[in-house]
Amino acid sequence: MVEKMVSVVGPEALGGCLGEGSHPEPVRVLVVDDEDPVRFTMQKWLERGGFTVETGTGVAQAIERLQSSQHDVLVSNICMPGATGLDLLERLRAEGSTVEVVLVTGLADVETVLTAMRRGVFDLLIKPVTAEQLCGAVLRAARTKALKDGNRRYRERIEELLIRRTEEAREGESRLATIVAESLDGIVVSDRQGRILFLNPAAGRFLGKRIHEAHDLPLPKIVDGQTVREITLDRPGEPRRRLEVRVAVIRWARREAFLIVLRDVTALRRAAEERAQALERTLKALQNTAEALATAVEMRDPYTSGHQRRVTMLACAIHDEMGLPPDGREGLRIAAMIHDLGKLQVPTEILVKPARLTDLEYRILQGHSRAAYDILKGVDFPWPVARTVLQHHERLDGSGYPDGLSGDAILVEARILAVADVVEAMASHRPYRPALGLDAALAEVSDKAGTLYDADVVRACVAVFRDREFQWS
């Protein structure tokens, strides 16, 4: 009977029946047949072909073997006592087994072939079977099994990845939803027609609306081409709110929409206003103090009464003509107003002496710049007032006092004050000489421009009188 099933082949025919590209791992095969010689022969052929083989005598034993260990290929006879190979195949597919099945039969009728195909057979071998046919069929079945297993594992990994990504996305959406819901900033999504598509709780509190009530809000006015702006909200019975509005264009439900973020800046603006008011009060106090000190100096030196005030007017006019930053103008004004503060320490007889001063008296008078600096240096001005007063007698070539500074080492405010001081002094009466006049004063600073005095300051000073028709009031 064995001879009817198989053709006898020599070892040379079996060596290499797996061929090129054989399965990289041992292929586990279960051979099921109720005839011992047939079962034994197929086992030997497959083992010589490099397969790992286990055997069974019938369907019941096959099921037991398949449940106890993993197999890649099942080779089973169809006709066996009791349950057939077709019954075994049907049960395996019903249970979802992935083992590939090769059936062997001597009855090649059409009905048997169709039944086997419907039940998922991999291959059907018709007796007599050769060793090469058997090994080839098992090898192809094993390769198919490996491909299916690989595809299944790939699908499982993709499904696992998709599940994980979906869970992460849901967690991210949940966290984002929590952040939006708990945000202190109002978040509104509006379409281009001003209809509200989304409103978080903070925005609802700011606007006094819920999402189903918010369609009458004038939000298109908020997004009139400005990305950042402020609006004022007045609601009956509530304090006025200042809201900073930021707008961005986004996609919402596949359409263009506006993301509008509302931040309550009421407290910030109130604090800024209070700081500005406090600064204004401080500046006013400084101005009043400077004027009081200027008055004190003039009371000790009545012959030069009004000098500091006139110097202040001219210095500010020069500053404006030069186009310097406006935030430094007030510091220059205060410095000019009290630039002779140090004369409070100069003896009155020197200040009002109708003749030229002696060398000693002149050195005493020169000390007034340092004396004023020592008084002012402890005052926390927002401008370099003390240094400006200290340097107003310094000259561009280093010939001035008290420190002999030159060039850019002298503050621009001090350079302006120096020119204004000289022009006013020469144009006005002094105890020791009559007024020299404005033309002489302008000629003096123009002749010394670039040596003693800053040339840009001198040009601005001349322009103030000649072009702007400046006059002392």
- Please tell me whether the peptide bond between 354 and the residue prior to it is cis, using omega within 30 degrees of 0: no
Residue 267 has pLDDT above 60, yes or no: yes
Residues contacting residue 81 through CB under 8 Å, at least 6 positions apart: 34, 58
Q: Are residues 73 and 126 in the same domain?
A: yes
Last residue of a domain, one of 154, 172, 198: 154
Tell me, yes or no, whether 276 lies in a domain. Answer: yes
**What pLDDT does 403 receive?**
94
Residues 286 and 362 in one domain: yes
Considering the domain architecture, whether residues 225 and 323 belong to the same structural domain is answered as no
Residue range 319-339: mean pLDDT, rounded: 91
The per-residue b/e assignment along 204-228, b for 16 or more CB within 10 angstroms, e otherwise, is bebbebeeeebeebebeebbeeeee
The answer to whether position 288 is within a domain reads yes
458 and 318, same structural domain? yes
pLDDT digits (tens, 9 = 90+) for 238-262: 777 888 888 888 888 888 888 888 8
CATH of the domain at 324: 1.10.3210.10
Looking at the structure, tell me whether residues 72 and 91 fall in a common domain.
yes
Is residue 472 in some structural domain? no
Mean pLDDT of the chain: 83
Q: For residue 127, what is the domain's CATH number?
A: 3.40.50.2300
- Residue 178 in any domain: the answer is no
pLDDT digits (tens, 9 = 90+) for 272-322: 888 888 877 877 777 777 777 777 777 766 655 688 888 999 999 999 999
- Asked if residue 13 belongs to a domain, the reply is yes
Number of domains in the chain: 3
pLDDT digits (tens, 9 = 90+) for 1-41: 343 344 433 333 334 444 444 445 789 999 999 999 999 99
Q: Name the domain boundary from 154, 171, 196.
A: 154
CATH number of 190's domain = 3.30.450.20
426-448 tens-digit pLDDT:
888 666 677 788 889 899 999 99
Same domain, 241 and 276: no
Task: List the domain range (segments joined by +) for residue 254.
Answer: 183-264
Which residues have CB under 8 Å from 74's CB, separation 6+?
A: 29, 30, 32, 62, 66, 88, 92, 99, 100, 101, 102
Percent of the chain clearing pLDDT 90 (strictly above): 32
Whether 105 and 112 have beta carbons less than 8 Å apart is answered as: yes
Same domain, residue pair 241 and 290: no
User: Average pLDDT in the 134-158 region?
Assistant: 90
Question: For the ranges 165-169, 331-335, 415-419, which has the lowest average pLDDT?
Answer: 165-169
Whether 284 is in a domain gets the answer: yes
- Of the candidates 24, 256, 55, the one whose C-alpha atom is nearest the C-alpha of residue 146 is 24
Considering the chain, what percentage of its residues have pLDDT values greater than 70? 88
Task: Supply the pLDDT for residue 136.
Answer: 93
**Are 148 and 276 in the same domain?**
no
H or E element in which residue 332 lies: helix 329-337
Regarding whether 196 and 121 lie in a shared domain, the answer is no
Mean pLDDT of 68-90: 89
Give me 141's structure tokens.
């079945």
Nearest to 100 by CA among 151, 38, 42, 149: 149
Structure-token match 């099942």, residue found? 74
Residue 471 lies in a domain: no
At 163-205, the pLDDT tens digits run: 888 888 788 778 888 888 888 888 888 887 777 888 888 888 8
Q: Are residues 299 and 439 in the same domain?
A: yes
Helix (H) or strand (E) holding 317: helix 307-322
Rounded Cα distance, 12 and 15, in Å: 5
- Cα(329)–Cα(337) distance, integer angstroms: 12
Domain final residue pick, 210, 235, 264 = 264
449 bridge partner residues: 453
Cα distance from N-terminal residue to C-terminal residue, the chain: 140
CA distance 372 to 393: 12
Q: What is the mean pLDDT of residues 374-398?
A: 91
Residue 52 has a pLDDT of 92
The structure tokens listed for 302 are 């009545």
Pair 235, 123 in one domain: no
* Averaged pLDDT, 144-172: 86
Shared domain for 108 and 125, answered yes or no, is yes
- The answer as to whether 240 is a domain residue is yes
What does the pLDDT read at residue 13?
Answer: 37
Q: What was the pLDDT predicted at 385?
A: 92
